[in-house]
Structure 1
Amino acid sequence: MLRVKHAFFHYGYSKLTMVDLAEVCGFTRRALYYHFKNKEEAFRASIRHSSTQDIRTALEAGERVRQGGGSAVDIISEIMDIRYGTTRRIVQVSPHTVELNAVAFMKCRDIMIEFATSFQSDIENLIVSLAEDGLLHLTGDLSPREIAQALADGARGVNQALPPPALTELSGRYRLMCHSILFGSAVASKSDARAKPHPARRQTVRR
């Protein structure tokens, strides 16, 4: 699967043929067709494989940070950096980045939704666990599910930001996003009667 992914990064989607893919994988064409009936099936399989690997690796890394005494921001930032940054770092150096991104949304939307939903559930459970361990204090303004949704949306937003963040800036951008969502950056002025707090803008957790 790693060779399949490399083939798409090297050739792009439209120019990659099954002959090219077989060569990159070290297969005969007949052997390749045993695994994939066409290029689209191979691409979808690579997206599913990458998502599975990245999520597992991200959650394991977050747990290591937690066991090492890291803060909630440290833990969640590490998870987001691996879950969303790993593929971004690989794709962004490919000359076919824009095409592959568009093809992924066009041909793999169902897979992306499936993994986005399951990952958000993982983050929701993590928020609850961090609160139980005293690493976060939930104010009740937002539920763990809403916080998880905001974090996942924020991480995807970092990846789709324009202009694209430099690869060296990705980790910092995920951390900034996590810190902003968890602890906020402003409060409404009490002297401004028009400034009525909106649930999505309230400070959601305290250190």
Structure 2
Amino acid sequence: MLQVSQAFLRHGYGKLTMVELAKECGFTRRALYYYFNSKEEAYRATVRHGNAQGIQLGFEAGERIRRDGGSAVEIISEIMNIRYGTTRRIVQSSPHTVELNAVAFMTSRDIMIEFAISFQDDLERLIISLAEDGLLRLTGALSPKQIAQALADGARGVNQALPPPPLADLSERYRLMCQTILFGSATAPGRDTRSKA
């Protein structure tokens, strides 16, 4: 999968043929067709693999931070940094970034939705677990499911920010987003109940 991904990053989607993809992977064309029936199928496989790996590695990194005594913000922001940031850093390094993003949404939206739902479910369970362990105190204003949705939406927003944040700033942007969603940055003004006399 790494070789297939690298081929798309080097050549883009439109110009890469199955013959070139086979060469990039060190396969004969026939051997490549054993795994993939088309270029689209190969690309969809890279999207599926990247999402699965990003989620797994993200939660593993979060668990290490948790074992080392990290805060909820540190745990969740590192999960986001691995889950979303790693892919962003890899794709940004390609001269075909815009094309590959567009192709992902055109060919693999169903895969991205499937993994978004799965990730948010995992994130909801993590939030509940962090609250049970005293690393978060939930106010009840939002359910763990709503918090997980806001965090995942926020991370995707960081990735799609315009102008794009420098890659070196992604980690801090995820941390700031997580801190803001978890703990807020403002309160609603109270009504002035003083007499106007």
Q: Which stretches in structure 2 are left out of the alignment for 5+ residues?
A: none
Tell me the equivalent position of 1:16.
Answer: 16
1:137 alignment partner, SS class: coil
Tell me the equivalent position of 2:91.
Answer: 91
Whether 1:114 aligns to 2:122 is no
Tell me the equivalent position of 2:3.
Answer: 3
Measured in 2, the distance between the counterparts of 1:173 and 1:17 equals: 37
Tell me the equivalent position of 1:203.
Answer: none
TM-score under structure 2 length normalisation: 0.96
Tell me the equivalent position of 1:51.
Answer: 51
Tell me the equivalent position of 1:159.
Answer: 159
Distance 1:192 1:151, change over 3 A: farther
Q: CA RMSD for the aligned pairs?
A: 0.9
Tell me the equivalent position of 1:101.
Answer: 101
Tell me the equivalent position of 1:134.
Answer: 134
Distance 1:43 1:192, change over 3 A: farther
Tell me the equivalent position of 1:199.
Answer: none
Tell me the equivalent position of 2:186.
Answer: 186
Measured in 1, the distance between the counterparts of 2:176 and 2:65 equals: 17
Q: How many residues align?
A: 193
Measured in 1, the distance between the counterparts of 2:46 and 2:192 equals: 52
Q: Which stretches in structure 1 are left out of the alignment for 5+ residues?
A: 194-207
Tell me the equivalent position of 2:172.
Answer: 172
Give how far 1:191 is off: 3.8
Deviations 1:46-90 (A, max 9, x none): 100111111100000000000000000000000000000011001
Identity over aligned pairs, percent: 73
Letter in 2 for 1:71: S
Structure 1 residue ranges (4+ consecutive) displaced by more than 3 angstroms after TM superposition? none
1:113 alignment partner, SS class: helix
